[in-house]
């Protein structure tokens, strides 16, 4: 027995690891060092590195949450805004249906009036012919 105790197990034989059977997707000579990337960039040589542009929103601020309570508060605020907008959309649709109904009734009344005036003219013309 050894007098020294360590955190390592002297009987540990190592792990077998993983054996990959699929062909490798790595192509030879597709690596660039940071120095090469910077030199290419400064010289205007394009690279196949994906570049994502930042997205800026004019009115909508993208929040940065530090605490979970801020996230929950923001979530409840968004739900209340959504409910208010849904209510507003519903009210506007109902208003549009009502105005369409009023327009239809008005057009029916105008059609009836024009028919009546045409009948009156025909009656007047038939009387004058007699």
pLDDT digit string, tens, across residues 90-121: 999 999 999 999 988 888 888 888 877 877 77
Q: Judging by beta carbons within 10 Å of its beta carbon (0-12, 13-18, 19+), is residue 109 exposed, middle or buried? A: exposed
What does the pLDDT average to over 54-82?
85
pTM above 0.75, yes or no: no
What total number of domains does the chain contain?
Answer: 1
Q: Is residue 130 situated within a structural domain?
A: yes
What pLDDT was estimated at residue 28? Answer: 75
CA dist., res. 17 & res. 60, Å (int): 49
CA dist., res. 97 & res. 12, Å (int): 79
Q: Is residue 11 situated within a structural domain?
A: no
Q: Is residue 104 situated within a structural domain?
A: yes
Residue carrying the six token digits 């959504």? 82
Half-sphere exposure of 46 (CA within 13 A, CB side): 3
Q: Report the C-alpha dihedral over residues 50, 56, 60, 64, rounded to 10 degrees.
A: 60
Range of 118's domain? 93-130
């Amino acid at each position: 027995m050894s007098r020294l105790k360590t955190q390592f197990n002297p009987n540990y034989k190592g792990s077998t690891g993983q054996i990959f059977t699929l062909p490798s997707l790595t192509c030879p000579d597709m690596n660039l060092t940071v120095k090469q990337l910077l030199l290419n960039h400064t010289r205007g040589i394009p690279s196949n590195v994906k570049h994502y542009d930042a997205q800026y929103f004019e009115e909508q601020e993208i929040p940065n949450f530090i605490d979970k309570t801020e996230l929950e508060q923001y979530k409840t605020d968004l739900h209340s805004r959504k409910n208010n907008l849904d209510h507003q959309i519903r009210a506007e649709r109902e208003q549009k249906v009502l105005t369409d109904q009023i327009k239809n009734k008005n057009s029916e009344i105008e059609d009836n009036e024009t028919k009546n005036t045409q009948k009156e003219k025909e009656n007047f013309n038939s009387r004058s012919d007699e």
